[in-house]
Amino acid sequence: MKRPRIVILGAGFAGFQAARTLSRTYGDAVEVVLVNPTDFAVYLPLLPEVAAGIVDPRHISVSITATLPGVRLVLGTVTGLDPKTATVEYIDPEARPGTLGYDRLIVAVGSVTKVLPIEGATRHSHGFKGIPEALYLRDHMIRQVELAAVADDPAERAARLTFVVVGAGYSGTEVAAAGQLLTRALIRRNPLLRGERARWLLLQLGDHVLPEMRPRMRATAERVLTRRGVEVRLGTSINRAASEGVTLTDGEFVGARTVVWTTGVRPDPVVDGFGLPTAAGGRVAVDEYMAVRDHPGIYAAGDVAAVPDLTRPGQITPMTGQHATRQGKVVARNVAASLGLHGRARPYRHRNLGFVVDLGGWKAAADPLGVPLSGVLAKAVTRGYHLWSIPANRPRILTDWVLDAVLPRLSVQLGLVRSGAVPLDTADPELPYDHSPASVTTL
Ligand SMILES: Cc1cc2nc3c(=O)[nH]c(=O)nc-3n(C[C@H](O)[C@H](O)[C@H](O)COP(=O)(O)OP(=O)(O)OC[C@H]3O[C@@H](n4cnc5c(N)ncnc54)[C@H](O)[C@@H]3O)c2cc1C
């Protein structure tokens, strides 16, 4: 008998867990197909350590074929959904379109960097949402320090040694923390820069860094960063970005060659064309079972889904890896239940277990189960949590950390940055589309 096909769109935290749960528990009864542009899932929380040159990018890339042997991986980017015929359209890495039929669909395509309509922001700032962007940023930072060393003009030298991070959520805060330590090490090692220091600005429009976290964690992060010399500017963002610097919302011009854009994320825009109901900020509207309203057989989970937060009535779950991972497991069981393979569907309910924020060096802020920690203890908890959470490559990551503790940081560029500017979307070029019917693959 033909097994029902469950198609999962996206191999992030939610999609990966859904595929793993389905293939491990119900693999004999269902065909699990995972559509993702790459053959790996990225463990995003360690991205700042990749940008800082601490962790090898391959080590935060979890091989889908090695870790999910029972799952059929379709390399591709989904471009459309037709609920009437129960098919999705995708483009493979060689720009060939294909279609895929499903009995059940889980939409888990995650989120993308939210770009605000600020003059020059897209062109002159770096995004920070994937491995290419982290590697570009690392190359760019190293190159700025090297160019500063040979700049005769003091203003140019100062601008090359000035780094502006816009947005102080966990990615912005961690990038500022890790980046500042990297540039400090690079400057110390360069005799031409004796007496110089990098200037780092962390801009946050609200009243605190890490707005989504508890006050003790925010205070720890602000204290650690400020003591290190990072200028934390609250109530401030930028009005304009240009090749020579940024104009802050208070009117000050800051000469800088590096602007990192981390003001938040929005659901992947591909779902705008799916015709599914949406809620807050364009996330796919689902019920507490993660089923899409009025669309039998279609579910959504993770950053892309507006899942009701039953622990905070009236609100939806925040876009975090912690929720996406658990939603992936629950949605898998609910899909299995809809096929008669597993009891009854159960609602998604998860109380936040705390956050961890790596502040570079031996510092971190963490509040596991609500217990506020800082310093080395928080660092140990933070690293332990990441090792526990990543589904593969643990010994490799541990080795990276040990080597970084005992050896000087490698400071050569990879040669990825060739132009003077690195626009927000450089690392994510649009795929060329070929819609000619002759090249359509139907699975
Ligand atoms: C730098 C950084 C640090 C973070 N740190 C933390 C942290 O410490 N703790 C925490 O809880 N959260 C953290 N987060 C947030 C967390 O990573 C996200 O909430 C989580 O990744 C969401 O999981 P997801 O499965 O919904 O989406 P994602 O993990 O974004 O995965 C989406 C997947 O879908 C794929 N995809 C996208 N479009 C398509 C398409 N059209 N077709 C097919 N596939 C597609 C993508 O390639 C990707 O594989 C961090 C995020 C960043 C960027």
Same domain? For 252 and 271 the reply is no
Which of 308, 338, 368 is the last residue before a domain boundary?
338
Q: What's the gap in Å between 13 CA and the centre of ligand 1? A: 6
Question: Do 213 and 358 reside in the same domain of the chain?
Answer: yes
Where a domain ends, among 307, 338, 369? Answer: 338
Query: Could you tell me the sign of the dihedral formed by the alpha carbons of 113, 114, 115, 121, in that order?
Result: negative
Residue to mutate, 92, 320, 348, 367, ligand 1, most ligand atoms under 8 Å from C-beta: 320
**403: CB partners within 8 A, 6+ apart:** none
Task: Decide whether any atom of ligand 1 lies within 6 Å of the 133 Cβ.
Answer: no
Question: Is residue 360 in a domain?
Answer: yes
Ligand 1 within 6 A of CB of 9: yes
137 in the same domain as 186: yes
Query: Is the CB–ligand 1 distance for residue 10 below 6 Å?
Result: yes
268 close to ligand 1 (CB < 6 Angstrom): yes
Domain that holds residue 206: 121-263+354-406
Considering the domain architecture, whether residues 208 and 249 belong to the same structural domain is answered as yes
Same domain, residue pair 192 and 86? no
Domain-located, residue 435: no
- Determine if ligand 1 sits within 6 Å of the CB of residue 322: yes
User: Do 238 and 251 fall within a single domain?
Assistant: yes
Q: Which of 54, 81, 109 to mutate to test the pocket of ligand 1 (most atoms within 8 A of CB)?
A: 109
28 in a domain, yes or no?
yes
Residue 16 beta carbon below 6 angstroms from any ligand 1 atom: no
Domain membership of residue 416 (yes or no) is: no
Cα 98 to averaged position of ligand 1 atoms, centre (Å): 24
Q: Is 15 in the pocket of ligand 1 (CB under 6 A)?
A: yes
Please indicate, yes or no, whether residues 17 and 84 belong to a single structural domain of this protein: yes
Q: Which of 338, 365, 380 is the last residue in one of the domains?
A: 338
Our answer on whether the CB atom of 46 is closer than 6 Å to any ligand 1 atom is no
In a domain, 429, yes or no: no
- Quote the number of domains for the chain: 2
Is position 391 within any domain?
Answer: yes
28 and 94 inside one domain: yes
Domain CATH number, residue 102: 3.50.50.60
CA of 267 to the centre of ligand 1 (A): 10
Whether 213 and 299 map to the same domain: the answer is: no
Q: Report pLDDT for 413.
A: 86
Between the CA of 190 and the centroid of ligand 1 the distance, in Å, is: 37
In a domain, 427, yes or no: no
How many angstroms is it from 113 CA to the middle of ligand 1? 11
Ligand 1 atom at minimal distance to the Cα of residue 129: 53
Cβ of 78 below 6 Å from ligand 1:
yes
Report the nearest-CA residue for atom 50 of ligand 1.
Answer: 45
260 lines ligand 1 (CB under 6 A): no
Are 87 and 210 contained in the same domain? Answer: no
Q: Is the CB of 169 under 6 A from ligand 1?
A: no
Which atom of ligand 1 has the smallest separation from the CA of 301?
26
The answer as to whether 47 is a domain residue is no
Q: Looking at the structure, do residues 187 and 271 belong to the same domain, yes or no? A: no
pLDDT tens track, the chain, 443 positions: 789 999 999 999 999 999 999 999 998 999 999 999 999 999 999 999 999 999 999 999 999 999 999 999 999 999 999 999 999 999 999 999 999 999 999 999 999 998 889 999 999 999 999 999 999 999 999 999 999 999 999 999 999 999 999 999 989 999 999 999 999 999 999 999 999 999 999 999 999 999 989 999 999 999 999 999 999 999 999 999 999 999 999 999 999 999 999 998 999 999 999 999 999 789 999 999 999 999 999 999 999 999 999 999 999 999 999 999 999 999 999 999 999 998 899 999 998 889 999 999 999 999 999 999 999 999 999 999 999 999 999 999 999 999 999 999 888 888 876 665 555 655 444 433 333 333 343 44
Q: Is the CB of 267 under 6 A from ligand 1?
A: no
| CATH for 170 | 3.50.50.100
Q: Which residue has the tokens 């080590």?
A: 59
Both 278 and 368 in a single domain? no
Q: What separation in Å is there between the alpha carbon of 408 and the centre of ligand 1?
A: 31
